[in-house]
Amino acid sequence: MSLGTIFLSEVIGTAMLLLLGAGVVANNILPKNKGNGTGFLMVNFGWGLAVFAGVLVSYKSGGHLNPAVTLGVAASGATEFVPGIPVDFASIATYLSAELLGAFIGAILAWLAYKKQFDEDAPDGFKLGVFSTGPEIRNPLWNLVTEAIGTFVLVFVVLAAGHWGDSATKTPGGLGWLGALGVALLIVGIGASLGGPTGYAINPARDLGPRIAHALLPIPNKGSSDWGYSWIPVVGPLVGGILAGFLSKFLLLA
């Protein structure tokens, strides 16, 4: 396994994630769509299945698709991301850059799929909402807290799931974690429970890559890319993911 393989795997997986994730949002909120107005729960399920597909196609890299997951795994004390790929500066940089690029590409593909809907008259906030998250009540501190908590749940549960079937912890194999499907259900659960205040980015690349795409794409009447908010869905998930990884060393391995 090479870092080049890891890079390509994460790009493909994260692009798939954003194509389907941004796609379900576009279907729900942009005009003249079959799924218009189907609601937030449909968006939750769409994002869950987007993660499911993204994890499946990025099996060679372990399907991180998320800098908060990558850094959370590193903070947990893991020595390898996948067999043959040690946790070091080069591998971390490979994962992070691939995740950002993949998210950018996936957002562009979603725009291409919904090009005619983006050309229709719609509030600029709806058009941005396909690409990036935004709070219902704008308060930087509490928006940051919400994103950190949601990402903590994601990374902590993913790390805990890795111990199912581990003889060292005496847990039975095959009963707890369902691989990619388990991650998908976790994403749906986080969205349904914690997604209301901010739209649950819980992934810096998922928000930043598409926000850059929104700024660059020729979308009619698209309005601002809301760069004043953009740091929150980056910093909050990184804090939550790293904290989950660090605490997992004590709370999951004691």
Cβ atoms 215, 129 nearer than 8 A: no
pLDDT at 165: 61
Cβ atoms 43, 130 nearer than 8 A: no
Helices then strands (H, E): number in the chain?
A: 10, 2
pTM for this model (two decimals): 0.93
Cβ atoms 64, 95 nearer than 8 A: yes
Cβ atoms 231, 212 nearer than 8 A: no
Cβ atoms 190, 181 nearer than 8 A: no
pLDDT at 174: 44
pLDDT at 178: 53
DSSP-derived 3-state class of residue 227: coil
Calpha distance 103→89 (Å, rounded): 21
- Which region holds residue 82: left if phi is over 0, alpha if psi is between -120 and 50, else beta? beta
pLDDT at 123: 87
pLDDT at 211: 98
Cβ atoms 213, 111 nearer than 8 A: yes
- Each residue's pLDDT, cut to its tens digit, for the chain (254 residues) gives 899 999 999 999 999 999 999 999 999 999 999 988 899 999 999 999 999 999 999 999 999 999 999 999 999 999 999 999 999 999 999 999 999 999 999 999 999 999 999 999 888 899 999 999 999 999 999 999 999 999 999 999 999 887 776 555 554 544 334 578 889 999 999 999 999 999 999 999 999 999 999 999 999 999 999 999 999 999 999 999 999 999 999 998 75
Could you tell me which residues are beta bridge partners of residue 156?
none
Cβ atoms 111, 118 nearer than 8 A: yes
pLDDT at 214: 98
